[in-house]
Structure 1
């Protein structure tokens, strides 16, 4: 099983605070990987380190077998990495249509029919859930090889979230790699083939598949 994205001995510091303590973590190609943990466990930092928006103080970052530690986010994006952060994921001054056009060619609503009546509205005027759909749609339109999502279900209706999880599984089946940061494992992804990394205070406490995780372990993260 080859790793599409990997951290090797990565330490990340924010001032005097060390958020990641020399962790090793691999996200296999063609799989959905879920980073589990409480707020402050390091999940978001892992995503931003993979995307290049956070630079490690030590260690190396690899994507598709290439050392990308020194590459900025724009160069990693050109290599096929897309990040949907938990905050500030849209350009508020652009309309929904303009925002989605940045992702590339595809359906005008990016596959989310909920966006069709909103195409001419400014993204800054939308609700939190609508903004999340815009950010997700733009990322999906880039057809990324590595898709990084920070709690993507925030603000989404259950039916929309189920469709999103199905889309993510389809992307993995195509050979793409999806990495999500979540506080709990989504039911749709609790299946063989999903890869879990349980983070606890900036360290990896468990790596494996859902069936291997001791019941209650994630609640103790």
Structure 2
């Protein structure tokens, strides 16, 4: 859907502490363009905290986050969005009084994607480089992106209805459509299938696989091993703030250490 090239998202030695506890303890991770990367593990493993560090809502105590090879560790959320990173949340966040279409349009109107740098950053910006703003989008462009995202997720029939009256599964798709309408280069998805029925999950898998095939980098947190097995190319398994296994999906899901930490039997 995006006309922009995908970008590699990388974590290098990321640490995040809360008091004396390391919620994320030196994690290395890479989500390359054209691939679906999954992050799995039990509750409390540190997955959401790592996502927060990658998205910019939390700053690591040490380590680096790179987006397309650029150090964004100290950049705020809005700067990462302008560089092409989008995120959905485990807890659905929509504007209930706005229509479904207007919720998606919010994402379509966000400037996204890098443009050539024209100046050096002021002191305090990451790596001595400015996060340039992407060009603002015209109303026509935003409308086109909104309609495309609504169609992709099967939301055209409810586009004019208030978002607040929609069931959970539809709201999950609205949030996904809003993130995608911004045409990101990297998409972070926190339990994207939660609340979806079988048909909606099948549509989700088709859309996400298609985005990866067109070069986008996708990183998702997911608890459903069946969905991970169907969708992911690479899996990182976390426990107690650390990555305990990483590699091709079948190998990681078949690892006995992962099964013990995540629960259940090796696949």
Decide: shared fold, TM above 0.5: yes
The answer to which of 102-111 and 167-176 deviates more is: 102-111
Q: CA RMSD in A?
A: 2.1
Distance 1:118-1:17 versus aligned 2 partners, 3 A rule: farther
TM-score norm. by structure 1 comes to 0.90
Q: Which runs of 5+ in 2 are unaligned?
A: 1-5, 109-143, 262-267
Q: Give the alignment partner of residue 45 of structure 1, picking from 42, 46, 49.
A: 49
1:32-75 CA-partner distances (Å, limit 9, x unpaired): 00001111111222222111111111111111100000111111
Secondary structure of 2:34 counterpart = coil
Aligned to 2:221, which of 177, 181, 184?
A: 181
- CA distance in 2: counterparts of 1:76 and 1:3, whole angstroms: 12
Equivalent of residue 131 in structure 1, options 171, 178, 189: 171
Tell me, in whole angstroms, the C-alpha distance in 2 between the residues paired with 1:13 and 1:168: 32
Are the counterparts in 2 of residues 11 and 21 from structure 1 also a CA contact under 8 Å?
A: yes
1:165-180 alignment to 2 at 5 Å?
165-180=205-220
1:1-221 to structure 2, matched below 5 A, reads: 4-104=8-108, 105-106=144-145, 107=147, 109-113=150-154, 115-187=155-227, 189-190=229-230, 194-213=233-252, 214-221=254-261
Instruction: Report which stretch shifted further, 177-186 or 147-156.
Output: 177-186
Q: CA deviation at 1:195?
A: 0.8
Instruction: Compare 63-72 and 124-133 and name the one that shifted more.
Output: 124-133
| Higher share in strand | 1
* 1:84–1:150 contact (8 Å) kept in structure 2: yes
Q: 1:3 to 1:197 in 2, by over 3 A?
A: farther
TM-score (norm 2): 0.75
Whole-angstrom distance in 1 between the partners of 2:18 and 2:184: 28
Partners of 2:64 and 2:185 lie apart in 1 by: 20
Task: Give the whole-Å Cα distance in 2 for the aligned partners of 1:26 and 1:100.
Answer: 28
CA contact (8 A) 1:29 1:177 kept: yes
Matched residue count: 218
Give how far 1:128 is off: 1.8
SS of 1:93 mapped into structure 2? coil
2:139 is aligned to none
Tell me how far apart the structure 1 counterparts of residues 20 and 95 of structure 2 sit (CA, whole Å).
31
- Following the alignment from structure 1 to structure 2, what is the Cα–Cα distance between the partners of residues 78 and 62? 14
